[in-house]
Amino acid sequence: MLSLKIYQIITYIIRPFFFIFFCIRILNNKEEKGKFYERKGFSRNKRPTGKLIWIHAASVGETLSAIPLIEGLLSFSSNYNILLTTGTKTSKNLVTERNLKRVIHQYFPWDAKTYCDRFLNNWRPDIAIFLESEIWPNHLIQIKKRGIPIVLVNARMTEKSKVRWLKFKKTISHLLSIFSLIISQDNTSKKRLEELGAKNTLIYGNLKHDSDILPVNSRIFSQFEISCSGRNILVASSTHIGEEVRVLKIFKNLLPSIPNLLLVLAPRHPDRRNDVIDEIKKAGFFTSDFILRSNSLNFDKNIKIFILDSIGELGYFYKKANSVILGGAFKKLGGHNPIEPARFGNAIFTGVNFYNFEEEYNNLVECNGAKVLKDDRDIEIIKDEDLVKKMAINSKNYAESLGGAADKIVLKIVGLLNENQ
C-alpha cells in the first residue's frame, strides 16, 4: 500500500532527528532524562517467565483507564505479567505511585520499524492491547508479522478523526483489519470505526467508569475549609484559552443573586495562570478579588475567585461543590469527560461543542443531570438551589449506573490468550 510505504520511508529518514525532539521534550518536562534508549526500543529489563500481556496507554487518562484492566488480568492468573508502555512522564509517575505488582513499565518506542523490531524481539509479548485511539502503523505491521493477537480496547473515534482518516480510507481499513478485536467504549465510536472498515467490533462500555474516582486529600485543604466556610462553591474546570471569558461573564451575572458564591477556576493547563489572571482583570475584577492556590489556601471573604493552578487536586473541589462548569466545549475542542464530576454528585454545565463525549452528555441531559449552555441565560438555573440538588443527584445516579467494562474485557483477553497457546 503506497501510503504505508511512504510513511515507513519517512519514519526511517527522520530517525536521526528523534534525539533533538527528545531533548526539546525534556526541556518542557515531558520526557525523563536517561530514557532515550527506551524510545529506541531498548530495555534493561528481561522478559519475565509466563504469559506476558503488553498494554499500551498513551498518557495519564488512558493509564487510569488501564488500571482496572491490569488489576483484573493479574487477579485472574498468577502466571500473567504485564508490560505497560506509556508515552508521557506523568503517566509513568502514576504507574510508579501505584506500585503495581507484576507490572513492568517502559516508554513506548517511537513508531519506526527498527525500534518496533527491537522492542518486540526483546519482550515477545503473548498479546498486545492498545487503548482508545492508539493506531501506530509500524507497530501494528510488525506485531501482525509475528502472529501476536492485538486488541484495541476502550476504542474511541471522534467525528473529526473519522473525517481525517476517510482521506486515507484504504490505509485505515487495512490497519484496523490487523486488530483481532476492537472493543468500543460507546456505540457512536463503534459506528465510526465500522465506517472506516473495522471488523470484529464490540461495545463493552468505558473503562474510565471502572477506574477509581479522583483522589480527595482533605487534610491538605484544612485551611481552605476555614477560608470558604459558609460559601457556595462553583467549580469551572478544564477551561482552555478563550473559555475563561465566558465563565467569568456567567459568574458576574450570578454574583448579585448569590453574593457568597466562590468560583474555583481550574484551567486545563495550570501553567496558563498568568493568562487566566489577565482575563480576570479584563472582566472587571481587581487583584484583591482573586488568589492563586500556589500562593495560599488562606484568604478572606472578599476573595471571589480561587485559581486552582495545580495538578491532581480537582477531586477535592468536585466533592466540595454541587455545580460544575466543564470546559472544552465553549470552543470547538470536543469537550471533556463529564463522568468525573458526575461521580462526585454535581450538576454539570457545559457548552455546545461536546462532540467527543456525545453519548455521556446526551444521557446526562436526558436524565436531567446536565445542562447545555446555549446562551448565558441558561445558567440562571443555578440560582434554584433545589433544582441544582436534584440535578446533582441525577448525575451521580447516572455515573453510578455505569461500569463493568473491565470484567468483560478481561474475559475476552483471557479467551484470546487461550486460543493462541
Q: What is the mean pLDDT of residues 13-41?
A: 88
What is the model's pLDDT at position 51?
A: 96
Q: Distance between CA 370 and CA 394 in Å, rounded? A: 9
Tens-place pLDDT, residues 341-396: 999 999 999 999 999 898 899 999 999 999 999 987 788 888 898 999 999 999 99
Domains of the chain: 34-206+405-419 (3.40.50.11720), 218-400 (3.40.50.2000)
Tens-place pLDDT, residues 70-85: 999 999 999 999 999 9
Biggest distance spanned by C-alpha atoms of the chain: 68
Tens-place pLDDT, residues 308-350: 999 889 999 999 999 999 999 999 999 999 999 999 999 999 9
Tell me the CA distances in angstroms from 112 to 30, 38, 107, 130, one per residue in order.
Answer: 20, 13, 14, 17
Q: Report the C-alpha dihedral over residues 62, 273, 264, 343, rounded to 10 degrees.
A: 0
Residue 26 has pLDDT above 90, yes or no: no
Q: Distance between CA 156 and CA 139 in Å, rounded? A: 19
Residue 16 has pLDDT above 80, yes or no: yes
Q: Distance between CA 303 and CA 226 in Å, rounded? A: 13
Query: Residue type for 329, please?
Result: A
Q: What is the mean pLDDT of residues 258-275?
A: 95
Residue with cell 509475528: 146
pLDDT category of residue 60 using cuts at 50, 70 and 90? confident
Q: What is the mean pLDDT of residues 249-268?
A: 94
Tens-place pLDDT, residues 121-173: 999 999 999 999 999 999 999 999 999 999 999 999 988 899 999 999 999 99
Q: Distance between CA 99 and CA 73 in Å, rounded? A: 16
Q: Distance between CA 341 and CA 360 in Å, rounded? A: 12
Q: Distance between CA 308 and CA 340 in Å, rounded? A: 17
What is the model's pLDDT at position 116?
A: 97
- Annotated active-site positions, please? 62
Residue with cell 461573564: 249
What is the model's pLDDT at position 362?
A: 95
Q: Could you give the count of Cα atoms lying within 13 Å of 132 in the half-sphere of its Cβ?
A: 18
